[in-house]
Each structure stands twice: as C-alpha cells, then as structure tokens.
Structure 1
Amino acid sequence: MTTVRVAVPRKGRPLEAVFERLAARTGTTDLADDVISTLQYEKAITKGNQTAERDVYDRLSAYSDTDDPLAPEFTLLRDDRAGMPRRIVFDSLTLDLDGYDLQLVGREEPFRALRTHEFALGFDSADLVLEEVVGLDPEPLTGLDEVNERIDPRDTDVRIVSGLGDTVWHTLLATPETRRQLDTDLDRSFVDTYEGNLCISPRYERLVEAVLGTDAIEGIEFTYPDEGAVEEAAIAETGLGVYLTVTGSTAHDYGLELGERLFPSETVLLENTAETTDATERATDLFVGADLETKLAS
C-alpha cells in the first residue's frame, strides 16, 4: 500500500490545528484529543504549571504503544534554553485510509524539510515562509493568497496550498500619544508617514518588512524587546510596534491601541511541487478539499 508522509510540527498550536482538521475529515476525534491533551499536559509540566507523578521516561513509555502500529508515538526533545528540561513531543502516527497510509512525521522545521525534498507535503507556520523565502517589495504583502507570487521559483519548489484557519494577526499597535502625532488612521499609511522607532520581535524582521513594504519602512528604525521582556510593554515604551494579537486584551492592558491587522499568522499546508504525485494529491484533498478551502497553489 502507498504511504504518504507528511511533515508536521512536533508541538504547539500548529500541530493541534493539523490534528483538529484531521479529526474533522476522518472522524478520529478521540485520537486527536488524546494527542493534543498529552502534549498540553507535557507543556504544563515543562513550564512548571503541573507536577508529574511519574518520571519522563515512564511517561514516554506509557504514551507510545509499540504493540499497536497505528498508535501515536512520542519522543524526547532536548530544549537548549538554559534550565529547561527535556520535553515529550510528537514523533509519528500512521493512519490506514482509503487506499493509502497517511503518516504524520514530527519535524522541528517542517518547511525546511520540504525545501530539501525530504517530504512532498507538510504543515508549518506561514510566518516561517515569509521569513525564509518571500521576496521583499515596495508594495506590502497583505494576505496568504499573495505569498506564492512572491516566492522565487529558483529558490524553492515549496508553495502554500491553503491555511487551516487557526488565525492570529500581526497587528499594528501604538500608544495614543504616538497615534495622535499624525492625522491618519493607525494603518499602513500611518507607518508610511511615520519616522522613528518601530518595536518588533527580532524573529519577525523580514516578515514585517514584507507586510509593510520596503517603501513604508524608509525612515523607520527597528528596535527589539529586551530578553525576557513582555513584547506589548516594549512596544508601549517605544510608542509603535507590530506584534501578534488574538483579542488584543494584553495590548490594552499596556495602554496600546490596536491598528490594522497586517497579516494572518496561521498554520498552512505546504507542498513541494517537484515531489507531487497522485497519492500526495489525495492527501492534499483530505486536508483541504473543495468543501473546505480553495487551494492557493496552481
């Protein structure tokens, strides 16, 4: 039987989004809930919000049922940050579907695994695509449907197929004092006129350049939060910034006003177009069939 291997994140919200979509399409709700709850529990232990009665190796042995080839498997991930313990993360799962096996394989960087042609399909954050391969342009990048047009085909064969809808937003934030400096709404036109400091996370520098456009950031100097600082607090100190928001409640807590939603940050299905087969097309349709999403890639 044909096996279609799909690279997925090892932990976090993107992996949960994949399992939620898989459950909706295959009816494997109990399986998805089990994987998600296990990883959330392990995250709580890692962060010190939960106390475990068994050591990490006993838990790992209990989670991975080696006698069942269709059961999810987990593994230990070494966290390189100082003082952080090893963490149990997702490793793999194989589902017997109609005419083929679907194997989800955990990777630290699924997008990069597709770029090296290790996989034909995978899921990762749209943010990483912007950070890695999207070309910078004077005009702003405003949505997922524009991303593939900004990817140089000489650079990579990977394209976005569709988003999964687990959206948070890269949002323009400002203090009332900064916003009142210019007679315009808090949107891209504000940044285009503004000159001064703009506080962002250092891991999003290229992304912010892409979604604002290179013309708009002329006269802008990026600043970054100090290590361990709350991003919204750093933006409030700077006066203007870009950060991820869901409800914006934390931004309001620091006296910030919410401006334009610049770009959606969500989990996306990716394909390496050079590795596409009839089998991978079937797996793609499983996740983003015509009844759910419209493909972005041609």
Structure 2
Amino acid sequence: MGETIPIAVPRKGRPLESVLDRLASRLDIADLADEISSTLRHEKALTKGTLDASEENVYHRLADYSAVDDPTEPEYTLVRDTRAGKPRRIVFDSVTIPLDDATGLDVPTDDTEIQLVGREEPFRSLRTHEFALGFDSADLVLEEVVELRPDPLDRIADVNARIDPADTDVQVVTGLGDTVYHTLMGSPEAVPSATSLDRDFLAEYDGPLCIEPRYERLVRAVLGTSALEDIEFKYPADGREEEAAIADTGIGVYLTVTGSTAREHGLLLGEQLFPSETVLLESTPEVTTAVRDVRALLNGGDLDTELGVE
C-alpha cells in the first residue's frame, strides 16, 4: 500500500482553480479539474444572486455533488459566506488523486496518491504542521510573517529572505503564474500633470492612502516603512467599492487585472507595486522523501511565474 500525501488547498476561487489547472497540466485529471471548477463557479453565482436559486436547496445540491463513498471523486462542504444574510455556500472539501508512472515525469510515484484538502487559510495549516505541502496566496504570507523593514519588498522571490525561521518553518517553493497586481492608483486631481505615479511619488507624498484593511501589513511590507512615515491609511466604508473609495480619497492601492474598473471611476493606474500570485508552500520539518517527490511533480521550469525561488 502506498503513501497518501495530503496537500492543503483553498476552498474556492482563483487560487483553487490555479491549483487544479497546475495538476491538470501534470496529471491526467482535466475532467476532474473542470468538474470542480464548474461546480464552484455555479455555486458562487447562486450565492451572489446572479443565477436563480429556485433549484433544489443547498443541502440537496451538496448531497448531489459529493461522492463520500469514493475518495477519488470530489467531496464538498458548506461554509457561511460573508455576503448580506451570510448564506450557506458550497465549497471544495477534498479529493484523492492516485499517482503512477503514466504521469510521464521523472518522479517515482508508484502506489502514491495525493489528497487535496480544502482549508480556509492553507498557509496557517502549514504553520501548525498539519500539512507538509499546501497552496495559498502569496499575500497571506506577507500579511502574516514577513518582517517589516524600512526598504520596500517588490518581488515574491524575496519573500523567503524576510521570513524569520524562529516565527515559522514554512517557506515558499514556487508560484503558479496566476498573477494579478497590487497597483498604485490616483485621481487626476491628486496627481500633478507630468508626474509618474510610482514609489518615488509616494516617498514624497503626504496625505491619505486608501487600502483594504486586510492589506495593511502587506502594504507596509511592500512599500517599506520609510515611505509611509507621512501617510495615513484610509479604509473603504463597509459595502463601498474599493475603486470608488480610492477615487474619493485621491490615492490608493488595490488589486487589478485589467484596470478597467479603476478607469471607470476616473482613476489613473500607476506602478504595479507587487504581484499577487498563488504559491506552493512547504513546512520544512514535515518534508519526507515522498513529499519531495510530490513537490517535484508540482514544481517545474514550465511555470510562468513572477517567482524565482530555487
């Protein structure tokens, strides 16, 4: 009987889809990955109200989706969503994926299987040594453990250097390339003409900076504490769209993909301060030979990532 290697993964959203895409590119699980992603997108649409929820109630759908007698089929669970009314939302729970030589990789995977296990914050599960491997947003690592220094942090590749080993054994292995950016934005009134909206601008700026509260420590790490000496953080009011709040404040930082929503609010897009990317993490004391083999399967030079960790 082979070994089962559990891997902590997000329960929903872009990071989980990135993990599934990565596995589908290395293993023959394209149908499984598509099934999980499609199910969760459908449930998200029901929770957001963009689809009619008049179909079977959430408990019946949960029973229909989950195959509890076959671990190689996905299982789902319920969580309370943060939206108005806090509706119950179906999210990913677990699935077991056998590995064999059919992977075509130089990794000994005979009789080994991986079990993807959904967690609200996989990074924290690794910090408590519950898992040896996991995937989570690089943002959470910055929000939790990187040292705050006067100088800025502008590359994911430098994150490990700012993790105090006395604080955690978790290290970043690689990124998955699903990159969006924490981007500096400003209204035309707050940015003088012919001025570059970048870190140098912020170094001279004295005033409010609109950010999401959960990103405060991340922004301090990314910009460096020296650049923030004369800056006061402002936060969007509950339920207020972030770009609208930044437009009212004048200057802010928020995640962008295309920047179209920011432009709709009349904002100028400035420097892309830091890449937000799903990363593969490991808890060093928990790494065994089998875990190293699985890590090698998940890692690889084919990844188009902002990360450059050896």
SS in 2 for 1:14: helix
Q: Identity of aligned pairs, percent?
A: 64
Q: Deviations over 1:225-251 (max 9, x none)?
A: 111001111111111000001111111
Contact 2:11 2:93 in 1 (8 A): yes
* 1:297 CA drift (Å): 5.0
The one-letter amino acid paired with 1:142 is: D
Contact 2:211 2:235 in 1 (8 A): yes
Quote the Cα distance in structure 2 between the aligned partners of 1:62 and 1:97: 27
1:106 corresponding residue in structure 2:
118
SS in 1 for 2:266: coil
1:177 corresponding residue in structure 2:
189
**Runs of at least 5 residues in structure 1 that lack an aligned partner in the other structure:** none
The one-letter amino acid paired with 2:180 is: V
2:106 corresponding residue in structure 1:
none
2:301 corresponding residue in structure 1:
290
Aligned residues, how many?
A: 297
Quote the Cα distance in structure 2 between the aligned partners of 1:214 and 1:69: 48
1:22 corresponding residue in structure 2:
23
SS in 2 for 1:178: coil
Work out whether 1:57 is the aligned partner of 2:68.
no
Q: Deviations over 1:225-281 (max 9, x none)?
A: 111001111111111000001111111111110000000111111101111111111
Contact 1:63 1:73 in 2 (8 A): yes
2:107 corresponding residue in structure 1:
none
1:159 corresponding residue in structure 2:
171
The one-letter amino acid paired with 2:268 is: E
* 1:193 CA drift (Å): 0.5
Contact 2:207 2:231 in 1 (8 A): yes
- After the TM superposition, which residues 202-281 of structure 1 pair with which residues of structure 2 at under 5 Å, given as runs? 202-281=213-292
SS in 2 for 1:90: strand
Contact 1:160 1:296 in 2 (8 A): no
1:190 to 1:180, Cα distance in 2 relative to 1, 3 A: same
Quote the Cα distance in structure 1 between the aligned partners of 2:121 and 2:28: 27
Work out whether 1:39 is the aligned partner of 2:40.
yes
Quote the Cα distance in structure 1 between the aligned partners of 2:263 and 2:304: 33
Contact 2:9 2:118 in 1 (8 A): yes
Contact 2:4 2:113 in 1 (8 A): yes
TM-score normalised to the size of structure 2?
Answer: 0.92
1:87 corresponding residue in structure 2:
89
* 1:80 CA drift (Å): 5.7
**Runs of at least 5 residues in structure 2 that lack an aligned partner in the other structure:** 101-109
Contact 2:184 2:251 in 1 (8 A): yes
Quote the Cα distance in structure 1 between the aligned partners of 2:87 and 2:235: 27
TM-score normalised to the size of structure 1?
Answer: 0.96
* 1:82 CA drift (Å): 4.8
Quote the Cα distance in structure 2 between the aligned partners of 1:296 and 1:169: 17
Contact 1:172 1:258 in 2 (8 A): yes
109, 131, 136: which one aligns with 2:143: 131
The one-letter amino acid paired with 1:285 is: A
| Residues 65-74 or 32-41, more deviating | 65-74
The one-letter amino acid paired with 2:19 is: V
SS in 2 for 1:243: strand
2:208 corresponding residue in structure 1:
197
SS in 2 for 1:215: helix
